[in-house]
Amino acid sequence: MMRKYEGCFLLRADLSEEGLKSEINFVEQTMTAAGAQIVKQEMWGRKNLAFPIKKKTEAVYYLFYFQAEPGLLAKIEPNFRVRENILRYLFLLRKQLPRDGGGQ
């Protein structure tokens, strides 16, 4: 049974536009290769952090809304943990996903 998830990624703010696209592509390809169905993506932009993470005070927030089998997160998390440009990530289980083009 597919579950609904929200994944929030904090990416290094000092990345070039090309580097940022590359990291987003990596996350997207890792998730889809493991069987996730991405429903919606949102870039929240550059934000100041409440406390430094890996000596960085700013990050680019990027959200993925997706559906996946329950065991998928355990498979893909090690890929994100070792990425230098991903400062933090968080996956949340959701009851409902936002529709593409609309928000919740």
CATH code at position 49 = 3.30.70.60
101 pLDDT higher than 60 = no
Domain tally, the chain? 1
Domain assignment present for 21: yes
Domain assignment present for 103: no
What percent of the chain clears pLDDT 70, i.e. is strictly above it?
A: 95
* Nearby residues of 2 by Cβ (< 8 Å), 6 or more positions away: 37, 67, 68, 69
> Checking phi first, is residue 60 left (phi over 0); if not, alpha (psi -120 to 50) or beta?
beta
Domain assignment present for 99: no
Q: In this structure, what token pair is assigned to residue 101?
A: 């083009």
Rounded to an integer, the average pLDDT of 72-76 is: 93
Domain assignment present for 104: no
The residue type of 70 is P
Domain assignment present for 65: yes
Domain assignment present for 30: yes
Helix (H) or strand (E) holding 30: helix 17-33
Domain assignment present for 38: yes
pLDDT of residue 99: 74
Please state the pTM of the whole predicted model.
0.88
* Average pLDDT value over all residues in the chain: 92
Structural domain span for residue 42:
3-94
Domain assignment present for 50: yes
